[in-house]
Structure 1
Amino acid sequence: MSKSNRDEESKSWSPSDFVVEAVDDKTRFHDLDLQDSLLRGVAELGFQYCSPIQAKILPHTLQGHDAIGKAQTGTGKTAAFLITIFNDLLCNPPEGERYLAEPRAVIIAPTRELVMQIAADAEDLGKFTGLQTVTMIGGADYQKQLSKVQSRVVDLVVATPGRLIDFMQRRDLFLDRVETLVLDEADRMLDMGFIPQVKRIVRATPRKEDRQTLLFSATFTQDILNLAQQWTFEPVTVEIEPERVATATVDQRVYLVTSHERLKVLLKVLRGPEAVSTIVFANRRDQVRSLHEKLRKAGISCGILSGEITQARRTKTLADFKSGKIAVLVATDVAGRGIHVDGVSHVVNYNLPEDPEDYVHRIGRTGRAGATGISISFASEDDAFLLPDIETLLGERLKCVPPPADLLD
């Protein structure tokens, strides 16, 4: 869309076209004094009231303050940091000439899927702002990504740490003009060994007193708090407790099965009329590969998502799953973090995760956007010992029962 067309269109829309009733205990996006072009993107997405983390964090971050947020996927944190970035960029147009390859904002996330999801959300939210977003991920064509940076001025870069370092090393991107830096899923970046790369990226940006830094993590370990202290300046801290997010809209079932009953029960679940759209999680890549092959042989239309799959195939698989072309995805935790699909009816934990936080992330793939979902976890002789830690994190006991007779027939 050309600038003149966009200006013409924005003149034909005003916040008065976006009527949202004031409710006592809720914050409307209207109440945040957002720029009109950004508010229009919010309105088009059907957002009316802020989620709890948005209501807590946006009044601070929109004023330019640093923030540390304890929140997991599905809480609305992505929109919170995107709204912060876009509003700031719109309110403070750059002075003087802009140069190529000098973004004003950078978001770092640990997985390719998550980067692509954030970038897709940025395209939707920033639809009427005229701001340019570029994605940088490993496993995809470097030259194609480079041509996007070299063909126009870039406002926001969303990247995985490794690929961003590639661009910096080749002097194809410069971070000395970054005004806002977002570190998403910091705990996952720590787990995946990305922190040395992230430290290098942070060092390439202006000093912390001269930029806005937002750090999000599902957990606040001592390591994360130490990093937050290094990277943020007088931050506000916002915590959204995971158990309410995890369990409010998800019917959690734990089936006690033997190892050799797992596949039979899974096939019955997947063939049932309720299982419209299902993500099956296993702990390791080899387990995911083997399970995907067994399901295909059993006639189940399914896709696979794990770290070793090429980016092009991952993108196509996710698109097929979102469109309903395939009804089942088999995934690892790392790949699963980036799956944001409304309408997932079931999540199946083929193996219980070794990290209780991963359980919360997995079941958070269903029961999204106000819908209810079902999570089914198989507990067998080799992993049932992991249940108590999961229950401690959830703050509730999980009822463990044998599978219903019709699933064992």
Structure 2
Amino acid sequence: MPVLKALKKMFGKGEGELPASGPVATSSAPTTAVDGAARQRQPKPAQTAREPQAAKADSQARSATAKSDGPKTEKPRRARPAQAPASTWKLEDFAVEPQAGKTRFHDFKLSPELMHAIHDLGFPYCTPIQAGVLGFTLQGEDAIGRAQTGTGKTAAFLISIITQLQQTPPPKERYMGEPRALIIAPTRELVVQIAKDAALLTKYTGLNVMTFVGGMDFDKQLKQLEAKHCDILVATPGRLLDFNQRGEVHLDMVEVMVLDEADRMLDMGFIPQVRQIIRQTPPKGERQTLLFSATFTEDVMNLAKQWTTNPAIVEIEPENVASETVEQHIYAVAGSDKYKLLYNLISQNDWERVMVFANRKDEVRRIEERLVKDGVSAAQMSGDVPQHKRIKTLEDFRTGKIRVMVATDVAGRGIHIDGISHVINFTLPEVPDDYVHRIGRTGRAGASGVSISFAGEDDSYQLPLIEALLGRKITCETPPTELLKSVPRKH
């Protein structure tokens, strides 16, 4: 396909070539700022190639013991924790028949502990992005991947990370705040979701997963870091920089780094922070870097070129831009009638789990307040909501205590909850790609779903761009009269 050919040309790949690990760049490790003072890191020994990473253990052990100037308050070192207790589960308990056109997790060399967790989750076959990415990353190669939300890319990079950390034993002693794998994501919701998936996949491995996000108590997050070693760290850029600049977290032992939703990080202005973080990690020739994005814009590809070494390019083209399991409707409605239409749709149909999207935080707040006032159990999800409240709200929505979640695009993109029956676009998104992400909140895991969009005088001009992206027309409907009747007053 033309796009893929252009990408491969950018990274120097011919059509028939498989990506191979390039030569390792040799450079001294960076100097990190700790409470305003410089802490000199010893240069790491040069390597001639990036091995399947087993040989990196010696280099890491030397790096850990070569630290001469620690932070002002020396962090305690502790012996490597004991491995998780042996399980009676055997691979024979996870029987999966080969099928034409499908890749099994059995087809990769994954540990019994990891296979046990995959079996618990009920995933016998890889999704296309998993099959494509793991073929390269399990050999230690860098990769950049493009796939829609809900395609399994999170499991793809987590399986790769877990395998790497299992194959390469950690040094017997290391600082508590030195993660071996780092995952950076743009939103708090996405960080929490990735960490939840990581906890399920590391269940039998003895690896520790930690999260650093803004909006939560700094000291509480620091205590978990001081209690045990951090193997996999999932973080938003700002909070990670806080920990790093205070000398609580050091990134010079990172073996695998993942940048998730790189296009969204660009949109949200996080790239300068991400650059500061990456400077604290080993040179790109001494770490494995995986970058994922929903779109491959020129800016995303330029970042990938700077931060990866000869990466494999895995691009999964969906058969349809929008899932066939989602039934799509457009209602032509005056802006003054949008709220009445929303209220009547939810109340008359007795819907139990609905997501409503609006473009601005003030719109989200007003919609949520009106629904609650009119007796509908609703909550809002935007950047203004404190993190502890966001987590509780998501759990209440997941368990059915809250019927309606009203969200902005940024807050809603990291929400992956099964059983959302309807998505309502109170306002059409300003970016056509966001329409696909919005309606992807329903119709997940093979279930059917419905999306209903309100096209008013202020946003209907977005409809042709959305239809061009979808590759088809969506017929505008006039709402039935009963859906436009006045909202009853609550006494």
One fold, TM greater than 0.5? yes
Percent pairwise identity: 58
Q: Which residue of 1 aligns with 2:360?
A: 284
Number of the residue aligned with 2:418:
342
Divergent runs of 4+, >4 A: none
Q: Which moved more, 1:173-182 or 1:56-65?
A: 56-65
Contact 1:104 1:177 in 2 (8 A): yes
Structure with more of its chain in helix, by fraction: 1
Aligned residue in 1 for 2:377: 301
Scaled by the length of structure 1, the TM-score of the pair is 0.96
Whether the 8 Å contact between 1:180 and 1:211 is mirrored in structure 2 is yes
> Which runs of 5 or more residues in structure 1 are unaligned?
none
Q: In the aligned structure 2, how far is the partner of 1:196 from the partner of 1:48? A: 40
| Within-5 A mapping of 1:6-405 | 6-8=84-86, 10=87, 12-241=88-317, 244=320, 246-273=322-349, 275-405=351-481
1:15-67 deviations in Å (ceiling 9; x for gaps): 11011221111111111121110111111011111111111111111111111
Q: TM-score, with normalisation over the residues of structure 2?
A: 0.80
CA contact (8 A) 2:237 2:274 kept: yes
SS of 2:450's equivalent in the other structure is strand
8 Å contact kept, 2:211–2:235: yes
Which amino acid is 1:225 matched to? M
Q: Distance in 2 between matches of 1:24 and 1:272?
A: 46
1:243–1:394 contact (8 Å) kept in structure 2: no
**Cα offset for 1:267?**
1.0
Secondary structure in 2 matching 1:98: strand
Q: 1:260 & 1:363 partners in 2: Cα distance?
A: 24
> Take 1:299 and 1:166, find their aligned partners in 2: how far apart are those partners?
41
The code of the aligned residue for 1:335 comes to A
Using the TM superposition, give the Cα deviation of residue 6 of structure 1 relative to its aligned residue in structure 2, in angstroms.
Answer: 3.6
**Cα offset for 1:405?**
4.2
Cα displacement (A) at 1:245: 5.6
Per the TM alignment, residue 394 of structure 1 is displaced from its structure 2 partner at its CA by 1.7
- Contact 1:242–1:360 under 8 Å retained in 2: no
Q: How many Å separate the matches in 2 of 1:220 and 1:149?
A: 35
> How far does residue 396 in structure 1 lie from its aligned partner after superposition?
2.0
> CA shift at 1:97, angstroms?
2.4
| Aligned AA (1:7) | P
C-alpha displacement at 1:365, in angstroms? 0.5
Matching residue's letter, 1:284: R
The Cα of 1:274 is off from its aligned counterpart by 6.3
Q: Aligned-pair distance for 1:264? A: 1.2
SS in 1 for 2:454: strand
State the alpha-carbon separation in 2 of the partners of residues 110 and 182 from structure 1: 12
1:71 aligned partner, one-letter code: A
Q: Alignment length, in residue pairs? A: 405
Three-state SS of the structure 1 residue aligned to 2:346 is helix
